[in-house]
Structure 1
Amino acid sequence: MMWKQVCLNKFHVKATNVRYFLSEAYKCSEAWENRLKSPILQKIRPDLFYYDLERQFNQQGKVCAVDFDIFVNRMNDNKMLNELSDMVHKMRLSTETSNTLASTSHAVIRHHLDFSDNDFENLVYILDDRLSYGVFLDSFTANLCLDKLIKLKDYRMAAKVSTFLMLQENFENPINRMLSLYACYKYLENAEPFDDLLKNQATDAELASQVSEAMRAIADARSTKKAKKRDKKEEIRVRINFLRNPYFDDHFDLRNSHHLVGKTFLAIGQYFDGAIGNSIKLMGYTYYEKYADGIQFIESLANKNQLYKDAVDIAKKQLAEIKDRDTDENYKKFLEAVDKLAESSTSLESESLENVIHKLAVQTVKENEAKEIEEQTKIYTLWEQIRQTKLQEELTRVDHHNRLKKIDELMQTMSEQEEKLWFFDNEEKIDLQLEKISGDHTEKKVYGREKKTAETSYIPPEVDAKRN
């Protein structure tokens, strides 16, 4: 009996660890799969529809946003993930990108989470290259991403996902805040750069560079060929490159991993008070390397003891690892201020900061999970209604366009028939129109011979009178 109890306890601990933060119910899997029961999606075969969309891209350079949304939501396996990424990129570069539905980005992220076999590098690459793909996290997909990466103990990639929320300035969702805070804090244990997470980006950049160089070479060859045909006296203007004034916006231009995580800490710290809020901000100023602001922050603390010892130790360790800052006065003053905080470590909060953050995350999930599940289920139903409405509007627009096209073709046919029927009555009018089109103002031929025009410039020779 005792052996049974021990086994049950072990099983219980294991199950708890597997869940970690979000429950299985949070995924709303049943509500998500119900989209496939829609009559619109049931009529679509993803493989055939993909080739149809590809043909439209090649011929017209764009596809309808609702058609693209139908294709993305109809996918239900991992067979076309590469084609999906390619199609998302093409859609982003087309004029229809501004009409992209919210359900499209959501579906792209969920497909990568469900079918990528725990290999999320491609998803992180797509999310990071916002200009080329235009896929953005919403609160729900951000929580799914963070929870899955935390379960896999991939804290570096989880911290990278948290920085996307910081760049979007979107920490209104309480679960987003806590999971991002936990991911970033765990990332500090081994704060390696994010660069190799985007290793495919370098390869794609090299390929893009090669393509652009080839296109440039072709353009140069064509321009050289045309230049040879020009008259030498003709003035030739050549576009030259010039340097623009450099500008660093300190937000989207951030590339340093520590700066990104530091700014994420500061964005999250605004939502907390007391020792936890102060500790988050201290780590933020340290990793963001905003030493002047960090000095003001420490000086503004009414109670210097309202800090966790772990946060002070992390700040001190990070400052000690920074090199080539001997001439930076702000760095020296900030280091001195942190050292003074460390000296009074006995009066600081001694509880583990990781445990505090973990408890807050579990509590936050418990308080908000059920409400968010209900809201997301309603959103799935709303998206299906929006898709139906947008599709009907597109069908109406296409039908209207086809009707106008048929009317134009009918008008053209009637005009041609009228011209044939009344040709002889309108012969002179037709001739005048032809002359205007061709620009030929010479007189008509008469009986197959061209009428000779009098030479106005002709001067008759002078004839002297003969003398008698």
Structure 2
Amino acid sequence: MYQISLNCLKNKGLLLKNPTNTINWKGIRTFLTENYYCFEQWDKYLMSDVVKKVGPVNQFSIAINDKITNKGLVTPLDMDILATKLVHVNNIQELEFIENLFSNFRKTQPALYIRDSMHYSFVRNYMDLNQSDRLLQILKLKYKYGLFLDSYTANMLMDTFIKQNDYKKAALTAHEIMLQENSENELTQAACLLSCLKSIQSGHNYVQVEETKEDTKEKKNKRLVYFLRKEYNDEHFDLKSIQKLNGKTVYFSSSNAKSADQILVNNLKMFGLLHLGNFRKAVDLFEINVVKNSGKIFKFVLDEFKKENQELVASEEKDDSLNYSLDKWTNFEKLVETNLEKHVMNKDLETCIKEVEVYLENVKKSQIPRDIEDQNKLFNKWNNEQEGELEQQLKNFAIDQKKQSILKRLDDLEKQEEILRFFEKRQEIIDSYYGKGFTTEYPSDIPIEPEESIFKAKYERHFKPWPKYMNRPKSSYEISKTRANKLESLKKIYLNENTTTLNESTNKA
């Protein structure tokens, strides 16, 4: 019960648990409902039997570190339980140590079979620890940690930042949903729209960069490279500026806003494409929605079109397709100016944001009960999976231990049998030792092949001509008479070539 009340206070913003064990009181209006966080079921999941068995989080993290460094036998279940126990971390040093464990686990093979419950537990416990900013940096490093947001944790994280009026970080969370192309939950799409539009309204799109004048007298440093990479931008993962990420997220979320007003959706699509820098596609969309279908365009979107048009006309980098789009927009602009009442709606960005908030409130009524039910089902499912996987691992461990003990006993029995029945199986032991059978068992009949091969190798190494002399005439490396005599004697000693001379002497006799 204490854990449930503690989570309620954390969600309301009244109690913020820091790793430094400081307590702050802060009254903030909630964005999502309290029921959305499923405190009771989440508390049961944190206090499940599987989580209790592993002991304190500091001891468990040290045990996992030993597994990773020494044996490398860490399972996805271990990391799932560790993510579940993150809520019990007391200081920043333990948190950094556990983050290093997740980074090392990312490099192992079991990371391919990571569990969805680990992502959920990691994100939610970081929010409970008041480490949302740190969590946002971890989510950006996909190659290092490999952590992803689902619809529920994304809603909670955006809710946390919106309650703090930090719309830039809420928009950064929405960018993660766009990059993952997660369009399952309409509530998430509405929250992403609100976060990005609030970020654009707050002026986070434009970052002031100090212009540095290059000195023409100074020589540029040139560096030799093997090849030049071809510059390519996929307009998705290669996007770096907040402006383009906001534009792509607005376009993606508005495209998946199923129950929103169609005029609002069309205008948000064009607005997002203009911020993305895709003027051609925005003009094509304007032609379909406004010119052909006699739709309406918001005034602030029309102003954004004019602004983008002026910048592109002033720029020097233009191709044929862009010139065609600029000419097309000039004709469309004249058409709109002649009949403003028919095509233009006098709405600014603030009015559009209010419409998005109304759309969000309508989606919440139908989506939040479904999300609560789905989360409760997931908690029960994850708990059963943990128990089943733990039992299976214990069974596999017991089977492996039995196999090892049986193999050890068989090895001991084989050694005892060899000692007890040595004289009965003497010939078989000798044959198995040398790898071949012999007609007799006398030691004198067994050839000593290893020694002969060693002497032959020594002979070839010392008396065979070097490869660098092979292309020279024979006279340059021909052996002298004295050396040839030595060579003949060595052959007789090491290569048993004296047998021919013995046979010849016996034949003469």
Report the TM range for the smaller structure's normalisation: 0.7 to 0.9
Kept in 2, the 8 Å contact 1:160–1:194? The answer is no
- Residue type of the alignment partner of 1:115: L
Match of 1:313 among 291, 295, 303: 303
| CA offsets 1:59-86 (integer angstroms, 9 cap, x no match) | 2224011122122212323433222322
Kept in 2, the 8 Å contact 1:56–1:63? The answer is yes
Aligned position for 1:135: 147
Kept in 2, the 8 Å contact 1:298–1:337? The answer is no
Q: 1:195, 1:106 → 2: CA distance? A: 36
Kept in 2, the 8 Å contact 1:286–1:319? The answer is no
Aligned position for 2:189: 177
Corresponding position: 1:32 with 2:47: no
Kept in 2, the 8 Å contact 1:156–1:194? The answer is no
Aligned position for 2:128: 114
TM-score (norm 1): 0.75
Match of 2:287 among 287, 299, 302: 299
1:110 CA drift (Å) = 0.8
Aligned position for 1:279: 267
Q: Secondary structure at the match of 1:18?
A: coil
- Residue type of the alignment partner of 2:106: R
Q: Indicate the RMSD between aligned Cα atoms, in angstroms.
A: 3.5
Distance 1:319 1:436, change over 3 A: farther
- Residue type of the alignment partner of 1:349: M
Q: 1:420, 1:290 → 2: CA distance? A: 84
Q: 2:375, 2:422 → 1: CA distance? A: 69
| CA offsets 1:108-144 (integer angstroms, 9 cap, x no match) | 1112211135x51x32222222232221111100100
Structure 1, unmatched stretches of 5+, are 1-16, 197-239, 438-442, 463-468
Q: Secondary structure at the match of 1:396?
A: helix
1:161-172 equivalent positions in 2, closer than 5 A:
161-172=173-184
Q: Secondary structure at the match of 1:75?
A: helix
Aligned position for 1:456: 499
Q: 2:227, 2:427 → 1: CA distance? A: 60
Structure 2, unmatched stretches of 5+, are 1-26, 210-224, 437-441, 446-450, 452-492
Q: 1:26, 1:325 → 2: CA distance? A: 52
Q: 1:168, 1:148 → 2: CA distance? A: 20
Distance 1:57 1:338, change over 3 A: farther
Aligned position for 1:23: 33
Higher relative contact order (CA 8 A, sep 6+): 1
Q: 1:193, 1:49 → 2: CA distance? A: 46
| CA offsets 1:174-223 (integer angstroms, 9 cap, x no match) | 11011000111112121347999xxxxxxxxxxxxxxxxxxxxxxxxxxx
Aligned position for 1:332: 326
- Residue type of the alignment partner of 1:296: D
Q: Secondary structure at the match of 1:182?
A: helix
Corresponding position: 1:104 with 2:118: yes
Distance 1:384 1:460, change over 3 A: closer
Aligned length: 395
Aligned position for 2:56: 45
1:219-258 equivalent positions in 2, closer than 5 A:
248-258=233-243
Aligned position for 2:467: none
Aligned position for 2:471: none
Aligned position for 2:70: 59
Moved more, 37-46 or 140-149: 37-46
| Identity of matched residues, % | 24
1:167 CA drift (Å) = 1.7
Kept in 2, the 8 Å contact 1:312–1:338? The answer is no
Aligned position for 1:405: 404
- Residue type of the alignment partner of 2:238: D
TM-score (norm 2): 0.69
1:408 CA drift (Å) = 1.3
Aligned position for 1:349: 345
1:372 CA drift (Å) = 1.6
Aligned position for 1:10: none
Distance 1:375 1:460, change over 3 A: closer
1:434 CA drift (Å) = 2.5
Q: 2:384, 2:78 → 1: CA distance? A: 15
Aligned position for 2:136: 124
Q: 1:150, 1:339 → 2: CA distance? A: 37
Kept in 2, the 8 Å contact 1:181–1:357? The answer is yes
Q: 2:308, 2:88 → 1: CA distance? A: 44
